[in-house]
Amino acid sequence: MESEQTKEISNPIQAASEVFYRPQAVFNTIGKVNNWSWIPFIIVTALLFIPSYLYYGMVDLDWLIHQMALANDPEASPAELENFKSQLPKEAIIWSAYGIPIGVAIVNAIIAGYYTLVTRNDEENVQGYMDWYGAGWWILMPTVVNGLIACILLALQAHGTQVSPAIVSPLSLAFMFGVEITSGWFNFLSSVRLDSFWSILLAGYCINCWTSYSFQKSLILAAVPSLFIWLLSFMFAL
């Protein structure tokens, strides 16, 4: 009888659901097929955009802009706060939701270059830059869990409520510990998310499947981009 680990994956929809619990089978399969990465790309970008769009459409924007002004300069005078707020129109904040998927696509492109670089001398690696870029969307699939939880939490909020933007990232330390946007640690703690560790694990499986590297080495290489981002964010918080 065919085991779950060796069961064939026949289509990208199946792969998108099974990457969470059969990552090796998924990465072995997508390493041999073409044009499957459009599915996770659409799913991931949608679940990145929708929570932010819902949040900016629900939150009290005047309150949020005031909190952002305080975060920019906690010791600013009332006049300085008003000047900052006048330079930050509500429309710009709402439109920023559209920039989130674009930013993730750019980061994914940079990380794909990193994967290409660290695996180029491996004799078993036959994947090129676009293969690693496509794999990045499969690696990001855990963000879907964060997005779905965020949508549920946002659906329970009343219009015009004053709630921290951390609600968009409910798997982040900022949300779990109730850190407000005015805290100097907000950005760092927002960047440390449980789904990020899950993505690191998937990246480790991907590298391990596509190269001759041991899983331990693959996991270390997979963790480097996230550790670098967290280190920079931590340094800015100091």
pLDDT (tens digit per residue) in 222-232 = 999 999 999 99
How does DSSP classify residue 9? P
Of all residues in the chain, the percent with pLDDT exceeding 70 is 97
Whether the per-residue pLDDT at 3 is higher than 60: the answer is no
Whether the per-residue pLDDT at 147 is higher than 80: the answer is yes
| Measured distance CA(17)–CA(21) in Å, rounded | 8
| 6 pLDDT tier (thresholds 50, 70, 90) | low
Is the backbone of residue 120 left (phi > 0), alpha (psi -120 to 50) or beta?
alpha
Q: Is 225 exposed, middle or buried (0-12, 13-18, 19+ CB in 10 A)?
A: middle
CB-based contact 141:41 (threshold 8 Å): no
SS3 at position 156? coil
- Output the average pLDDT for the chain: 93
Whether the per-residue pLDDT at 7 is higher than 90: the answer is no
Q: What is the pLDDT of residue 84?
A: 86
What confidence tens digit (pLDDT) does each residue in 102-117 have?
Answer: 999 999 999 999 999 9
Mean pLDDT across 59-81 = 89
| Measured distance CA(59)–CA(181) in Å, rounded | 14
31-35, 39-43, 74-78, 175-179: lowest mean pLDDT where?
74-78
Whether the per-residue pLDDT at 16 is higher than 70: the answer is yes
Phi, psi (rounded to 5 degrees) for 181: -65, -25
Mean pLDDT across 174-197 = 96
Query: Shortest CA distance to 26 belongs to which of 205, 220, 193?
Result: 205
Q: What is the pLDDT of residue 2?
A: 43
Of all residues in the chain, the percent with pLDDT exceeding 90 is 82
What's the token pair of residue 66? 């005031």
Mean pLDDT across 40-65 = 95
Sequence ranges of the domains in the chain:
23-55+95-237
80-84, 149-153, 186-190: lowest mean pLDDT where?
80-84
What's the token pair of residue 39? 């599915």
Whether the per-residue pLDDT at 208 is higher than 60: the answer is yes
